[in-house]
Structure 1
């Protein structure tokens, strides 16, 4: 999309801090401040930020966001902040909107999603928040892109937001209850993956969990030679184990696909019955299939 708009995408990966043990945290993936600064110059128009992060689940700290903000201000750069998982943050972590940092409101578009917040991803409803001088351009695009809007769904969303806005201080507010429910599912999946010898990256936010599958040593040399290992692994796993996931290189820039090809992404926002079925598959992983 950046290329279609006449821009040049510049990629920067999160760098993994090696830890000892059978699991890692999404907080172990960090943005190298020096590397990030080297990507900015007089031609830098905008930075795309995603927190809580998909697929890693990282929740950027205030200190990390301040590094990004300082560079945006120094180079007069816009920030598009994708915060669709803002309410899916687990204990010990806090979501901070970069637009709330000094000097950032006037240069930030913050993106939210009803689909992610209320688990109705099929509705395809979301919003963008920012200063009038930036939002007006989004309104022009909106007006000339869409012919109709899903008015009944918009009304339903408005009512849902109003109900929970009025009980923001109530622990039963939906915004807080969803993360409490998902934290149990997250912990269950992490424990299960560890028990079968895999190394999950425990997310601080979101409802995805990436997993290092290199310990399984699955030989996929007889599959398509021109595909990355994670694509081949997921195809093999779906066919032979009846378990589905997403290859992580789908989220990578061209220079870092090799670095991440031994990871796959699981989703744990599932019914308990689905997680039960996944548990059976994983616990019987090394048993011969009929």
Structure 2
């Protein structure tokens, strides 16, 4: 109990001073253009909005009441059809799928029901920051393996950030329970290729590790790259839980509809926890997502699919913002997927920040606070996505969200153009 209390107290203190919360509060107070928050500020597609409207106003009044605790029947059925096709596995909607209140709650459920106190879990850096918080709340131990960039002469790209196979192997101990794999990756935008995923899958099979595959950006892939699903690799289905998100797929992040897909012995544990801790998820949004997926299934890889048009549109926004950043003196690392651009700020650090005492805040955090105040532009420091031990690798990088309206991007351009002129 004392240990748990100490962990909770430490986490409470850390979250109270969380840079993301601090910077978003400063952005709101200063009227800054906020490219720190990771969500689209444009409208979702008409057909999914219409599906929700019809669910709410139609004749089926039971859609306003509780649905099946482990997933609305219509939704789990279409998810089984979609992912059976994507994974080349025949999925049972009852045994292989759990719908959750966003992928975030799915991740939390995994940490609370399958990960135990004392378990070690490998995180590839930069990592989605809630991974660390959720594991520590559970009493588990994050073990960090950083990706490092290399220069092959092809320019700045997320694909050039790689892990060292020997370093990854050496991170495994007799206490290692799992590895968290985020692809496409938040914040870097890296899309792991087949060779990299094979190295990870070989490690999982060799050491009998669970793989938590966070694939919420699965449809946001650029430059004709391919999203490869590690659950489809040999001997990986039985040890992989894949996380998906309607919020990211259909640009409805406020609906909070997500899912976990995996083998029966793992999903059953999650279902039992979900029933005890959550009970059931909202019915109306699950119904609307099901209707939208039913529309997508026959056209998944055609130009008519929303997933394809969204990816193409976001690729254009990515290219625009990368250009704006480069013109202003940033060095944009072009992402192959996801919502974010990581940018090198080495060339534009204010002179007052070039040197700092070791006890002071990280350079990137100080820069982000300066930018949101002096330039009215909110970005996030990359150090929040790294462990303390590896923070030195990222202190001259920031994360910037490009999944925004054209108006928002134009406002950012005006700031960056003025930045460049000055």
Q: TM-score, normalised by structure 1?
A: 0.94
Partner of 1:97: 229
**Distance in 1 (alpha carbons) for counterparts of 2:315 and 2:363:** 30
1:4-19 equivalences in 2 (<5 Å): 4-18=137-151
> Are the structure 2 counterparts of residues 132 and 92 from structure 1 closer, same or farther at C-alpha, using a change threshold of 3 Å?
same
- How far did residue 19 of structure 1 move? 5.0
Say which of 168, 177, 183 aligns to 2:315.
183
**Distance in 2 (alpha carbons) for counterparts of 1:220 and 1:131:** 54
Aligned residue pairs total 287
SS in 1 for 2:174: coil
Equivalent pair of 1:114/1:121 in contact (CA under 8 Å) = yes
Aligned-residue Cα RMSD (Å) equals: 1.8
1:141 equivalenced with 2:273 (yes/no): yes
Partner of 2:282: 150
**Distance in 1 (alpha carbons) for counterparts of 2:247 and 2:315:** 19
- How far did residue 149 of structure 1 move? 2.0
SS in 1 for 2:142: coil
Q: Deviations over 1:148-200 (max 9, x none)?
A: 52211111111111110122243110111111001111111111111122111
Once the two structures are overlaid, the 10-residue window that deviates more, 171-180 or 160-169, is 160-169
Partner of 2:77: none
Once the two structures are overlaid, the 10-residue window that deviates more, 149-158 or 50-59, is 149-158
Say which of 195, 207, 216 aligns to 1:84.
216
> Are the structure 2 counterparts of residues 79 and 63 from structure 1 closer, same or farther at C-alpha, using a change threshold of 3 Å?
same
- Structure with higher helix content: 2
Say which of 371, 374, 379 aligns to 1:240.
374
**Distance in 2 (alpha carbons) for counterparts of 1:18 and 1:145:** 47
- How far did residue 7 of structure 1 move? 2.1
Gaps of 5+ in 2: 1-133
- How far did residue 99 of structure 1 move? 0.4
**Distance in 2 (alpha carbons) for counterparts of 1:262 and 1:28:** 17
Partner of 1:226: 360
Q: TM-score, normalised by structure 2?
A: 0.65
Which structure has the higher relative contact order (CA within 8 Å, separation 6+)?
2
Say which of 260, 264, 274 aligns to 1:128.
260
**Distance in 1 (alpha carbons) for counterparts of 2:348 and 2:136:** 38
Partner of 2:172: 40
Partner of 1:259: 393
